[in-house]
Structure 1
Amino acid sequence: MRLTLLLLIWSLFASAQQTFTVFDRNNSPLPDNQCRYIAIDSLNRKWFCTEFGLAIYDDNTWTVYQTTNSGLTDNSVKHVAFDAAGRAWISTQNGGVCVFDGTNWTSYTTANSPIAADYIRSVTIDRFGSAWICTIAGLSRFDGANWTTWNIGNSNIPVDHISRCVIENDTLRWLGTVNGGFSQMIRDTGFTTWDYLHQNFPDNSMNDLVLGPLNHLWMTCPAGALVNFYNGGWFTYNTLSSGIPTNSLNSLQFDSLTNIWLGTYDRGIVKKEGPVYYSWYTANSDMPDDNVFYTCIEGNGIVWAGTEQSGVVRFDESLWLGPKPVAEPSRLTLFPNPAHDFVNLRFDHARPDLVQLYNMQGQLIRSMHNLSAPVQRLDLTGLSRGCYLVRIAEGTRIERKTLIIE
């Protein structure tokens, strides 16, 4: 009887303390299973940016904001940032920026303000309280009264599509772009850009940009992997130069021990611990999705991951039993990447049944079947510039890579 009771207690404890806890539409109020971004506020509440609204979770209670019950102007939420007053600056795909103070909502769109576009990628707040708003049509700054926009028509900014802005000090900013390289902005007029064509920079697009220890800039790229940039030089952590399992990265976060946590396109959650990489994904763990858009680290070390199709995952590494899974190298290499008229696909230890090329809207563009040779050429003639997704399937195993066409 005592043994049975102990086993029951242990069973209840184990079920409550899971390495991976999934929150999705089936088991929680999360409004959509695609979660693009996660932020944690000063009250330790988690803000989940989904494709069908904004969800806030305080570890007990959920609050969901959508266009039908709040001042949110668009349900496709891409990013959230907090200012010194605790107000949330919420980036949307078609509704500009929404500012929420916990009670009141204010929106800035092209219909009511000089903001550059209604599609907002992210917002950064500087120490003066100005909002630096990254849009698909330029970089806008709003100081509470005045608007300023930098675009290719009025400045030397490399492209209009800006993904991230990092403020290093009052006069120095760093910009990540989509298809325009990586740019340094000095004061309000000076731009210096590093790109693939002119400096052989690893990628022309940056999904995430973080100012790390010793003022080194770290960036994740859709095809150029993890880049550490400092004082005009850089080192790329890719599948050739390191043990990183994939070159297709979405996001990065530093934990309290300066380990780097990566959200990847095809290897789930990756942890860089010094020179060693660990990967938790569908093939080696209970991680439900290989495509992780964003990872966010709590003060207690808990990792929160927003996924493409499986909602939000709470990952407690301390409960992982056995050796941590050292990352396995990717089985697919794309070269050249960026590409023009064609791309070569090299399969390492794999003979896929199917190769598919998708655009970023999820439309199937090309497909190849029953591949036997270790290297295949995929024709790209006639395709527009931009980001594409290469998907290979071998039995039940799926792998994805990002392809840039220039």
Structure 2
Amino acid sequence: MKKIFSVFIIFFLVVNLRAQSWFTYTNSNTNGKLPDTNVECLAVDANGVVWIGTYFNGLVKFDGTNWTNYNTSNSPLKDKTIIDVAVDKQNNVWVANYANGVFRYNPSTNTWTQFTKESGALTNNYTYAIEVDNQGNVWVGLTPSSYNDPGVLRYNGNSWAQGNVFKDNFNSYGAEAIGVDKSGNVWCGTRIGLYKYDGTSWTYFSKENTLGGLGGNYIRTIAGDASGNVWVGTTDYVNFQTVGGGLSKFNGSTWTIYKSSTHPIDDFVSAIAFRNNDVWIGTGFCGQIGNYKGIYVFNGTTFTSYQSTSTFPGNCVNDIVVDKNANVYIGSAFGLTKYGTIVSVEKEDLLPTEFAITAFPNPFNPSTTIEYEIAKSGSYSLKIFNSIGEEIETLFSGELNAGFYKKHFDASKLASGIYYCRLTGSNINVSTKLVLIK
């Protein structure tokens, strides 16, 4: 009997390790291997390796198990601040290194190449954004040195394009966000609006000429989905104040805007990524004061919110990427958060440091999965209550060790409405709201 019990424990541990879960990597729980919790930007290469740009400690490579840091002391990087990172078709890593131009790093040969104004490649060393188009060209957004200088440059693998086609288009503003759609159009976001390049000419979009389809003219983030839609996060200025412009979608002919006045979403959209058929939306204006709302997942009909109290430690999101296994990585000022299969962190990294509870999907019909974190061994109960506080069901009651757990909740016999899942134990009482829609 003891041997059977031991096998069960091992099996449970493997299943728990491979469950779809939230986990945040920080400087402390990686023993300093993630040297900076200020994660500014993210990219995933063809091998599934995550490349992490930090604000204070350079570039970090994470292959799911091992961490490698590239900084000013062990690489040619000239500054520890990484503004953006991208991976090209040859699996080279491109880095916008603050005021030092851009670097191209070849991991297979461990070689670095720097492109600067002094080398004749760029027109300015202050670079904002990097993106790779469908043909493999690398696009770099930068600050124009003068009115006639380009706000974006294109590198085809051999030379940098600085011709007239790239001049006088952004009115001396640089491209601070770059995205590529399914058709290969390159979209550049500036502080005065959005520009689309179709390979021949530029088209300008603004809050004014889209009749509010764009919520603001300061473009924060751009992403194209598999259906050909372009998604844009914007910021606006009202009465000399910075306000969120919401999330905009362009299907090639029509603009649709999602704002807090009409949808359950925060207006400061800072990052966009796609996982299966869902749009993952990061909110926040990191470095600015604001009450940001973390992550939203939009399935085309419903917005599901994930905030720091139950999932990851910071509501202000800088970037989101999705790897080939549909794992989601979220960069914030509080670390690197992963939603997906947790298989390769060390045992001590798996132990939660606080009590938390979440549900996915939420809203749901008719069932959802409750995931909860136990920070200390003890006696606990997990129960469902209706909106007036009546107990509906006990999902668990008993002893638990510190760790991550999940329970399936089937509400097929319940009416639509608001319910609460509550985790209680010695000196703890945490809950999450459940929305059942039939």
| TM surpasses 0.5 | yes
Closer, same or farther: CA 151–32 of 1 in aligned 2, 3 Å = farther
- State how 1:103-142 maps to structure 2 within 5 Å: 103-137=110-144, 138-142=151-155
Task: Please list the CA deviations of residues 338-382 of structure 1 after superposition, one character each: whole Å capped at 9, or x if unmatched.
Answer: xxxxxxxxxxxxxxxxxxxxxxxxxxxxxxxxxxxxxxxxxxxxx
Contact 2:308 2:314 in 1 (8 A): yes
User: Highest CA radius of gyration, 1 or 2?
Assistant: 2
Aligned counterpart, 1:348: none
- Mapped to 2, the partners of 1:50 and 1:197 lie a distance apart of 35
The normalised TM-score by structure 2 is: 0.65
Indicate the SS of the match to 1:207. Answer: strand
Q: CA deviation at 1:91?
A: 1.5
Aligned counterpart, 2:330: 305
Counterpart of 2:118, as a letter, is A
Contact 1:159 1:180 in 2 (8 A): no
Q: CA deviation at 1:8?
A: 6.2
Contact 1:95 1:109 in 2 (8 A): yes
Aligned counterpart, 2:260: 239
Contact 2:154 2:161 in 1 (8 A): yes
- Between 5-14 and 126-135, report the one with greater CA deviation: 5-14
- State how 1:343-362 maps to structure 2 within 5 Å: none
Whether 2:19 is the aligned partner of 1:30: answer no
Whether 2:72 is the aligned partner of 1:64: answer no
Task: Please list the CA deviations of residues 257-302 of structure 1 after superposition, one character each: whole Å capped at 9, or x if unmatched.
Answer: x21011111122211122111111123x132111111122233332
- Mapped to 1, the partners of 2:94 and 2:232 lie a distance apart of 22
Whether 2:191 is the aligned partner of 1:185: answer no
Counterpart of 2:207, as a letter, is Y
Counterpart of 1:253, as a letter, is A
Task: Please list the CA deviations of residues 21-44 of structure 1 after superposition, one character each: whole Å capped at 9, or x if unmatched.
Answer: 221111221121111122111111
- Mapped to 1, the partners of 2:360 and 2:252 lie a distance apart of 38
Gapped runs of 5+ residues in structure 1? 328-406
- Report the RMSD for the aligned CA atoms in angstroms: 3.2
Aligned counterpart, 2:50: 46
Pick from 255, 259, 265 the counterpart of residue 275 of structure 2.
Answer: 255
- State how 1:93-242 maps to structure 2 within 5 Å: 93-102=98-107, 103-137=110-144, 138-149=151-162, 154-168=167-181, 172-177=185-190, 179-188=191-200, 190-199=201-210, 200=212, 201-222=214-235, 223-242=244-263
Contact 2:43 2:87 in 1 (8 A): no
Whether 2:80 is the aligned partner of 1:75: answer yes
Number of equivalent positions: 321
Q: CA deviation at 1:204?
A: 0.6
Closer, same or farther: CA 171–86 of 1 in aligned 2, 3 Å = closer
- Mapped to 2, the partners of 1:184 and 1:264 lie a distance apart of 24
Counterpart of 2:295, as a letter, is I
Q: CA deviation at 1:107?
A: 0.4
Closer, same or farther: CA 152–298 of 1 in aligned 2, 3 Å = closer
Indicate the SS of the match to 2:37. Answer: coil
Q: CA deviation at 1:13?
A: 5.5
Closer, same or farther: CA 25–151 of 1 in aligned 2, 3 Å = farther
Aligned counterpart, 1:359: none
Closer, same or farther: CA 48–153 of 1 in aligned 2, 3 Å = closer
Closer, same or farther: CA 7–76 of 1 in aligned 2, 3 Å = same
- Mapped to 2, the partners of 1:128 and 1:301 lie a distance apart of 24
Indicate the SS of the match to 1:213. Answer: coil
- Mapped to 2, the partners of 1:117 and 1:24 lie a distance apart of 34
- Mapped to 1, the partners of 2:326 and 2:167 lie a distance apart of 44
- Mapped to 2, the partners of 1:238 and 1:279 lie a distance apart of 14
Counterpart of 1:105, as a letter, is W
Q: CA deviation at 1:185?
A: 2.5
Report the identity percentage: 21
Indicate the SS of the match to 2:218. Answer: coil
Q: CA deviation at 1:153?
A: 10
- Mapped to 1, the partners of 2:8 and 2:179 lie a distance apart of 51
- Mapped to 2, the partners of 1:171 and 1:304 lie a distance apart of 25
Whether 2:110 is the aligned partner of 1:84: answer no
Q: CA deviation at 1:163?
A: 1.9
Contact 1:151 1:159 in 2 (8 A): no
Closer, same or farther: CA 172–281 of 1 in aligned 2, 3 Å = closer
- Mapped to 1, the partners of 2:23 and 2:185 lie a distance apart of 40
Q: CA deviation at 1:158?
A: 4.3
The normalised TM-score by structure 1 is: 0.70
Closer, same or farther: CA 213–42 of 1 in aligned 2, 3 Å = closer
Closer, same or farther: CA 170–106 of 1 in aligned 2, 3 Å = farther
- Between 88-97 and 108-117, report the one with greater CA deviation: 108-117
Counterpart of 1:314, as a letter, is K
Closer, same or farther: CA 321–238 of 1 in aligned 2, 3 Å = closer
Gapped runs of 5+ residues in structure 2? 145-150, 236-243, 285-291, 343-355, 365-438
Contact 1:251 1:262 in 2 (8 A): yes
